[in-house]
Structures are given as structure tokens and as C-alpha cells.
Amino acid sequence: MDENSICQSCGMPLNFDPQKGGTNADNSRSTKFCSYCFIDGKFYDEGISLDEKIEKNVKIAVAKFNVSEEVARQNALSVLPYLERWATKI
């Protein structure tokens, strides 16, 4: 896994993931998605919309990383729509 890789669902750097990636259906490690987003070959938040994912990421950034809501929203809007999971939906 490239150390610059980010989760193609939430944008988190994969090297920050304590599990070093989610799990595929065959229990192998995913090199595209983090362990917070992808478990046993399925998205943890399956059915969530891009707008809902952006709001979820904003709340996490504000609560856990002490980032302002404005900065968190700007970051989410500049990254999430272009990730593999969401790019086909815009």
C-alpha cells in the first residue's frame, strides 16, 4: 500500500488506520478502503448519500480533531466527491 493512499470512501490516510485497511469479503485486507468504512466486503454505512457522508466527516473532524466546522466542510467538499466510492455518483 502506498503510504500516500487514502480511503476511497472517507478520505482518511490509510496509514492512519490502526488495522491498515478494511476487510474484503474473502477476509483479505482492502487496499482502497479503511477499516472504519469497509468490513467483510461491505460498507459500514451502506446506503448513505454523499451529502450524508460529508456531514458525518464534518462531525468527526470537529469532535475528534478540533477542526472548525467551516474548515472541515471545505476539506470534505474538496475531497469526498472525487473518491472512488462517490465519483460515479456526481
Tally the residues of the chain. 90
In this prediction, residue 1 has a pLDDT band, given cuts at 50, 70 and 90, of low
In tens, the pLDDT along 22-78 reads: 999 999 999 999 999 999 999 999 999 999 999 999 999 999 999 999 999 999 999
d(CA 17, CA 22): 9
Reported pTM: 0.87
